[in-house]
Structure formats: C-alpha cells, structure tokens
Amino acid sequence: MASALGLPVIEPPRAAGERLVWSVGGLVLAVADALAARFGACVVRGEISGFSRAASGHCYFNLKDADGGVGMLRCAMFRRAAGLLNFAPGDGQLVEVRGRLGVYEQRGELQFVVEAMQRAGAGALYEQFLRLKARLESEGLFDPARKRALPAYPRTIGVVTSLGAAALHDVLTAFARRAPHVAVNVYPSLVQGPDAPAALCSAIAAAERHGGIETLIVCRGGGSLEDLWAFNDERVVRAIAHCSVPVVCGVGHETDVTLSDFAADLRAPTPTAAAELAAPSTQSCNDALAARFALLQRRVHHAVDAHAQRLDRSALRLARPADSVRRHGQQLATLAHRLAAATRHAGATRAHDLAQREPRLRRGVAVALASNAQRISSLDARLRALDPKQVLTRGYAWLTDGEGRAVVSIARLSVGAELKAVLADGEASMVVQAVVATDVVGGVVLG
C-alpha cells in the first residue's frame, strides 16, 4: 500500500485478535496520507509572519488569520516555486497561497507546501502600522531636521533591551571588542508582549534621569511583525522622539523596519551595528591620534628647519660685519649728499620767490598807505565840521542853566533866571529880564 505522497504506508505487525499498535513513523505517514487524501489542493488566505529565505532559496514562514485569530499554519515554499514570484513577500502582507497540506515527518509537524502565492492586500497589523506611521509623520515626529548628530567620542552609553536577549550579548561583545574604553549602562526592559511598551518607556525615562548618558541604544533581536510590535507602539515612538539624548535604534535584522527606527536619531540594521555606530573603535581612535601626531611632527620639523635656515643666513651676515658697516656708511654718505643738494635747491627756490614778491609787496604797502591817508583826511574834515567851536566862531553862543543843562527853548526860562553863555573866546554870566515868544525859532530878549 502506498500513501498519497508516494511513500509506503507501514502497517504495524499484529497477531490475530491483538489491538492495533502504531509505530511513530507509521502513524505520521498514515496521518500524512489521510491529510493528502482529504486536502489534496487548497487555497489559503492569511497574513505572513516570520518570513525568511534560506541560502538554498527555499522560503519558510507562518500564515495567521488577518482578523487577529489564534490560528497559525507553518508554510514552506521551495526554490522552484519561490523563483516564480513577481513580488517580494514580507511580514504583515496579506496573501493567498495555493498548495497541499502535509506533515513534516522529521518533527511530526503540520506543514503547508506552497506551490503558488499572490498578494491579497495588506494585513491588519501592517495596515495599522501604515496608519500610525502616516499620523506621526504628519506631526513632524519623523522630520529629518529633528535628527541629532551622535557624540563623536562618547564616554558613557546606555542600552535599553532585555537582560536575557541575545541582542544585549551582541552589543556588549561589540563594545568589549571595539571600544572597551566606553562605559555601558544597561536599562533592562521587556521587548515583547503587551507589557513591553510601558517597560520600554520606563527604561528610556530611567536612562534620561541618570544624567551621565551621552548616547542611548534601544535594541532587540529579530522576529516576526508581532514580536517587534512593541517598537511600533505610539508611546515608545514618542518616548524615543522626545528623549533628551541622541538615540540609536537597532531592532531586528536589516530587513525589519519599525516606527521607532523613524523616530530615532539614527537607525542601525542590527544591535551589533548599533553598537558600532554609537562609538568609534579604540583602534580607529588610536589611528586618528597617530595620524595627527605624525602630522604634528612633520609640521614641527618643517618649522624647525625653516628657523634653522633663517639662523644660518643671519649667521652668514654677522660673519662679515665690516662689509655691513661699509655698506651702511656708503648709504649715509649718499643720503648726506642728497640732503645738502636738496637744501641748496630749496634755499635758491625760496630766495627767487622772495625776490619776485618784494616789488609786489612794496607797491601794495604804498597803495595801502595812500588809501589810509586819504581816508583819514576825509574823516578829519568831517570831524572838524561837527566841532561846536567852529559854530561859535560864526557869532553863536551856547546857553546853559545853573545846573549846566543846555537851554534850547524859552519853555525852560523864567525872568530872573541865571544863565551862562559860552562864546568863541570866553564865557559870560547873564540874568533873564524878560521872555518873549517870537516867530523866529530860539529868539529871546536878554538884559
């Protein structure tokens, strides 16, 4: 008897009247034969989880219900069928697969051998991932302008991950191998399960409170989309984005992408790569120091050589001081000759200028004297015309009262008043005997 898989079905030996007892292999083959007969060719729709491609080209993954059901089916897609795919399968994709149901005999596990696969839309988790990514991106949480540069030479680095994870071992091993001078502080946290987001946020906050952390690494090893979902939680993404120190996110393998990767200042493909990116290796630092030391040495030697050459040239000049003194003496003699010639030339030029200016100066002085004399004569004549004594010589007198005030009107005179008359050649005292108003201005009768 042969099974539907083309393998013989082993019937357990039994005597007449004995109960049927199966061998392990016989039972597995019988189950496989029954499944092949009942489910010869099937089409199954589900969400890919834990997808991997072996070096041989075979693909292995799980199919789970897209609506969040608990069912899961292990699948294998061999290289021939995988080579016919027109897209790249990945976690979270909703697909329809066609194949046959069987049993993997070496482990006695149910297995679906996929012969063809086509996309059926995005899975529920993947759709949730895309919606949350779009919303956080619209808030600017993933803006490249927010990314901060990592410290070039950190002294203390924090690591947020699970204490039992292989990622922690990889990170610590990388630091011990490449940068043993860097201190590493571990902040333990769950990295998978419903309690992981809150634990991750608490560990990140603890690292911030520590104060001495210069760079923070948030990491874990690879896994399915469900395994890595804690790093897609909005609380964790915001905690990473608002962390006060630069964050390097190294979650999963190179093909795994989480929202924490977008929020971090730097994404690393693996936890080991995160450690390598967070701090330079001791060897590279030593190489850089050696290169700078060599450059400094070359520059110092160049400067010393330049100063030595200048010193040699100065020593050569000092070796023959008489030549220098003679050269300076010649320069001084030349300068003295030029100074004497310049002085004579300047004196002759000034004398010529004075000789030309003397006649003009004399003429100018004579004209000025004549003009001033004429002006003085004119002013003298005007002054003489205004002299009161010149008026008195023409028969006029100047009358003043007893207080010395000039009398110019009869309104200030009275009979018996004493007056003084100033004439051209003397003075006379008078007494007013009568005051008579006349048509002649200033006419008075004196006694």
In a domain, 351, yes or no: no
Position 70 scores a pLDDT of 74
Q: Are residues 109 and 139 in the same domain?
A: no
Position 14 scores a pLDDT of 55
Position 107 scores a pLDDT of 82
Position 223 scores a pLDDT of 78
Helices (H), 264-281: 271-278
In a domain, 363, yes or no: no
Distance CA 95, CA 48 (A): 7
Is the separation of the CB atoms in 194 and 233 below 8 Å? no
Q: Are residues 269 and 164 in the same domain?
A: yes
Q: Are residues 135 and 114 in the same domain?
A: no
Position 254 scores a pLDDT of 80
Q: Are residues 69 and 191 in the same domain?
A: no
Low-confidence stretches of the chain (pLDDT beneath 70): 1-18, 68, 121-124, 319-320, 439-447
**Residue 108 region by backbone torsions, left for phi larger than 0, else alpha for psi between -120 and 50, else beta:** left
Picking from 122, 140, 162, the residue at the C-terminal end of a domain is 122
In a domain, 365, yes or no: no
Give the range of the structural domain holding residue 419, as residue numbers without chain letter.
386-447
Residue 435, both tokens: 């005051």
Q: Are residues 114 and 135 in the same domain?
A: no
Position 415 scores a pLDDT of 83
At what angle are helices 271-278 and 166-178 packed, to 10 degrees?
30
Q: Are residues 133 and 88 in the same domain?
A: no
Q: Are residues 149 and 241 in the same domain?
A: yes
Q: Are residues 390 and 266 in the same domain?
A: no
Q: Are residues 101 and 166 in the same domain?
A: no
In a domain, 368, yes or no: no
Picking from 239, 258, 283, the residue at the C-terminal end of a domain is 283
Q: Are residues 152 and 201 in the same domain?
A: yes
In a domain, 100, yes or no: yes
Picking from 99, 122, 145, the residue at the C-terminal end of a domain is 122
Distance CA 65, CA 193 (A): 19
Q: Are residues 81 and 176 in the same domain?
A: no
In a domain, 295, yes or no: no
DSSP state of 153: S
Short-list 274, 283, 280, 285, CA closest to 246: 274
CATH code of 56's domain: 2.40.50.140
Is the separation of the CB atoms in 32 and 13 below 8 Å? no
Place of tokens 């080579």: 83
In a domain, 315, yes or no: no
Q: Beta strands 59-64 and 215-220: pairing type?
A: unpaired
Say which residues have a Cβ less than 8 Å from residue 378's Cβ, sequence separation at least 6: none
Residue 415, both tokens: 């009979």
Position 58 scores a pLDDT of 94
Distance CA 237, CA 181 (A): 30
DSSP states of 197-256? HHHHHHHHHHHHHHS--SEEEEEE----TTTTGGGG-HHHHHHHHT-SS-EEEEESSTT-
In a domain, 167, yes or no: yes
Length of the chain (residues): 447
Distance CA 223, CA 92 (A): 12
Is the separation of the CB atoms in 412 and 399 below 8 Å? no
Distance CA 234, CA 251 (A): 16
Q: Beta strands 109-122 and 93-104: pairing type?
A: antiparallel
Per the structure, the count of domains in the chain is 3
Q: Are residues 134 and 47 in the same domain?
A: no
Place of tokens 């392990």: 24
∠ CA 103-88-61, rounded to 5°: 25
